[in-house]
Structure 1
Amino acid sequence: MVNFIVRAVNLKTVSLISFCLLSLVGCNFSSSAQKKPQLIVINVLDKQEFDDCHIAGSINIPFAEFENKVASFDKNNHYVLYCADYACMSSGYCAKLLRDQNCKYVWEYAGGMVDWYKKGYPTQGPAQEEYLKSENINYNDEEDTSHTITAEELLVKIEEFSSRI
């Protein structure tokens, strides 16, 4: 009789432990499966230019540091990279680095900070740098535009991702 009780208690304990472990695994699995992709807007200018004026909500990863951080990016997120203006090629180079790491959702905002600022879209910072007042001539008219995004498309994307929160 004592053996039967010990076996029943052990069976009950093992069942309880198994249930708890399966529940934990299920929770972890469902939370990672339910993780929604984020929109990450990245300014690749130096910190001084970023602090002066950047797209509201964007983050700064300076061009000089970008290559060292590429491997840590979540491949499921959506990334938009920008720099100063159409003449600046840093954002295009960084976007290519991300695509080479198999990130599927990567765009370059070639108009950059000058285009965004001149259109009066939301920015952060005092906006005192002279380059913000320069002409923003599109030098890349013949370039492949399949991986580029306009200011208006970026605004829509920001609103779309903001509504998901």
Structure 2
Amino acid sequence: MAGNRINILGTDELKERLSDPKKVIIVDARDEEDYKKMHIPGAISIPVYDIDKMSDTLDKDKEVITYCSGGMCDASTDAANILTKKGFKNVSEYKGGIQDWFAGNNPTE
């Protein structure tokens, strides 16, 4: 499946992507309760266990960036893998997750 590689983003790369929110979809793959407590501005909540059925609601022409808690959390990786299997061509993962984002004093909602 050439071309369906998942890009790994650092915090600076994510900030750059967020500067043009019309081109990206940020998916918080954590549980909705965690999303409600704090999330990256503009992110939508699609828990990893819902990503398969909810993927049809996402625009395949945009870059989709997944994230979760960071550290030992695999939800963003699992979500990104599901999206590539569903035919999304431009999928990225922010591995640092909300932990790195918050630790860097970046804005949250």
Q: Normalising to structure 1: TM-score of the pair?
A: 0.50
Show structure 1 runs of 5+ residues with no match. 1-36, 125-165
Q: Which runs of 4+ in 1 moved over 4 A?
A: none
- Cα distance in 2 for partners of 1:42, 1:115 equals 16
Q: What is the match of residue 42 of structure 1?
A: 27
Q: Aligned-pair RMSD on alpha carbons?
A: 1.3
Matched residue SS, 1:55: coil
Q: What is the match of residue 41 of structure 2?
A: 56
- Cα distance in 2 for partners of 1:53, 1:74 equals 24
Show structure 2 runs of 5+ residues with no match. 1-21
CA gap 1:72/1:51 in 2 versus in 1, 3 angstroms: closer
- Return the offset for 1:51: 0.6
Q: Normalising to structure 2: TM-score of the pair?
A: 0.74
Based on CA coordinates, which of the two structures has the bigger radius of gyration? Answer: 1
* Number of equivalences: 88
Q: How does 1:1-165 map to 2 (within 5 A)?
A: 38-124=23-109
- Return the offset for 1:38: 2.8
Structure with more contact order per residue of length (Cα contacts < 8 Å, sep ≥ 6): 2
- Cα distance in 1 for partners of 2:27, 2:100 equals 15
More helix by share: 1
More strand by share: 2
